[in-house]
Chain A
């Protein structure tokens, strides 16, 4: 047998793996919160009767969803510095993630909003609810609850896609793995360890989303069933 697995060689790099995983987690956390906000705003904008607003949001969504993430990263990272804006690498990486995931989230949230029957909104209007109340209680919260599983997997996908930011030298989990491989030449072992770390991060993320759902949706908390 030519190849002998040697995980012991990686032991001294464990702190590097952990710091890479932590960076991935930080990027994911910030991008999830900001991406969700942008996604919701974009969904509202796309449903707006004002043509310029819905057109603008539509253009954003189509531009992002129909181009590869890698191209978007290079475009933003090198494009920004060409016009003199030099962001820290991590900030640039998070910015690209937010722009990317915002478009996908926007479409998911919009789909959820479209499932709310018009009669329900009309009923709220005739009861004299304010526009903010209607959007929050009648449209947004039930809509989010309906598309919650799709949202969860979108953010897990984003966490996995964040590995691409290693291309612009963000020192996240994949970049750390590439560094360790170039020092130890133990690529098989390194990528096995990294695969398990990503798996653990994905489970962690799903748990966090489950907890958030319990807090956000009282109906689900009390009945224990999805909508």
Chain B
């Protein structure tokens, strides 16, 4: 009896400790500088944003952004590689200091984590094989559509196409496999992902059916870290204005960032 009770107390105290531990960070910016290391989370397997190159080294516009931030802070970079669905929880539980992982700024996410001003944008689209007639959300109802879980795509399709058979995969890489192997003939994703799909299924290429939304991507950080947030905001504004971020972005995406980017929301 007392053994079980003791075990229970142990589990409970572990839970409480685990939950309170983040309180130890008072000013994260100071802590990062003191540790001489910043932990930046990126979601790998996202074409153009974060992927591994031919030499198996992580690269992409998100990874390069992370490298630039660490360099300008004058600290070492600890790249924390996570999955798409783990993006918000990673910041909530402070497994990383900040997150640069093509995460769109949404009101729901703002309730639990903080965002900087947008550092990039992303068009999300519905794409499908040629024969599939889709012009808007109502046409998706009754069809099978592939999405990556915990994305804005997932949210928009779930809300606007009730009655569709939504198949959710854990990351873009699995979604691409599903499209290439023919499990889905319709996907909600971003243009870069469709480009990769078409490289691998040249006989039945996907075409863009309609644009769902243009998303503003923000660097995510835990709530209440005002010093870190204002440093990052300044950094984004400066490097968009002087063209460093935009030049790097264009290298991977072959398009320009909108002119009003950093003044959005």
Contact = CB atoms under 8 A, between A and B. Distances in A.
Interface in B17-52: 19-20, 22-23
Interface stretch (B120-128, B176-184, B240-248, B250-258): B176-184
Given A77-B183, A182-B85, A185-B92, A169 B19 contact: no
Interface stretch (B53-61, B63-71, B134-142, B167-175): B167-175
B84 to A, nearest CB: 9
Contacts of B92: 185, 187
Contact of A3 (B20, B155, B174): B20
Interface residues of B, number: 28
Contacts of A178: 85, 149-150, 168, 170
B174 A86 contact: no
A1 B88 contact: no
A181 B85 contact: yes
B168 A175 contact: yes
A174 to B, nearest CB: 11
A185 B88 contact: yes
A15 interface: no
Contact of A169 (B23, B150, B155, B167): B167
Nearest to A79: B181
A82 B89 contact: no
Given A182-B149, A182-B150, A84 B182 contact: yes
A86 B150 CA distance: 25
A200 B169 CA distance: 27
Contacts of B22: 2-3
Nearest to B18: A3
B155 A1 contact: no
A185 B89 contact: yes
B78 interface: no
Interface in B123-164: 146, 149-150, 154-155
Contacts of A86: 182-183
Contacts of A188: 19
Interface string B81-97: 00001001100100000
Nearest to A186: B112
Nearest to B224: A2
Contacts of A166: 170
Nearest to A3: B19
Contacts of A74: 177
B260 interface: no
A133 interface: no
A187 B93 CA distance: 10
A169 B150 CA distance: 13
A78 interface: yes
8 contacts: A1-B20, A1-B23, A78-B177, A79-B181, A167-B169, A169-B169, A178-B170, A183-B108
Interface of B: 16, 19-20, 22-23, 85, 88-89, 92, 108-109, 111-112, 146, 149-150, 154-155, 167-170, 174, 177-178, 181-183
Interface of A: 1-3, 5, 74, 77-79, 81-82, 84, 86, 89, 166-169, 175, 178-179, 181-183, 185, 187-188
The 4 closest A-B pairs by CB, nearest first: A182-B150, A3-B19, A169-B167, A78-B181
